[in-house]
Amino acid sequence: MQFIRSILFTILFYLALIIVFIIALPTLVLPSKATLICGKILAYIIIFLLRFVLGVKVTFSGIENLKKNEQFFVASAHQSLLETFILQAPLQYPVFILKKELLKIPLFGWYLKKIGSIDIVRDTTTKDNLNFFDKIKNNIKINKRPLLIFPQGTRVKFGERLPFKKGAGRIYEALNLPCVPVALNTGKVWPKNSFLKHNHDIRISFLEPIEPGKDKNVFLNDLEKKIYSSIDNLS
The domain that holds 84 is classified in CATH as 3.40.1130
pTM score, whole prediction: 0.92
Contact residues for 53 (Cβ-Cβ < 8 A; gap 6+): 5, 8, 9, 12
> At 219, is the pLDDT very low, low, confident or very high (cuts 50, 70, 90)?
very high
Q: How many structural domains are present in the chain?
A: 1
Assign 104 to helix, strand or coil.
helix
Q: Kindly give the pairing relationship between strand 202-206 and strand 179-184.
A: antiparallel
Assign 154 to helix, strand or coil.
coil
C-alpha span between 54 and 201 (Å, rounded)? 10
Residues 43/85, Cβ–Cβ less than 8 Å = yes
Q: What is residue 109's predicted lDDT score, i.e. its pLDDT?
A: 86
Q: Which long-range contacts (CB under 8 A, 24 or more apart) does 115-124 make?
A: 115/32, 115/35, 115/36, 115/39, 116/32, 116/143, 116/145, 118/147
Question: Residue 127 above 70 pLDDT?
Answer: no
Q: Which of 58, 70, 68 is nearest to 205 (CA)?
A: 58
- Write out the residue range of the structural domain in which residue 173 sits: 2-232
C-alpha span between 209 and 223 (Å, rounded)? 10
Q: What is residue 1's predicted lDDT score, i.e. its pLDDT?
A: 84
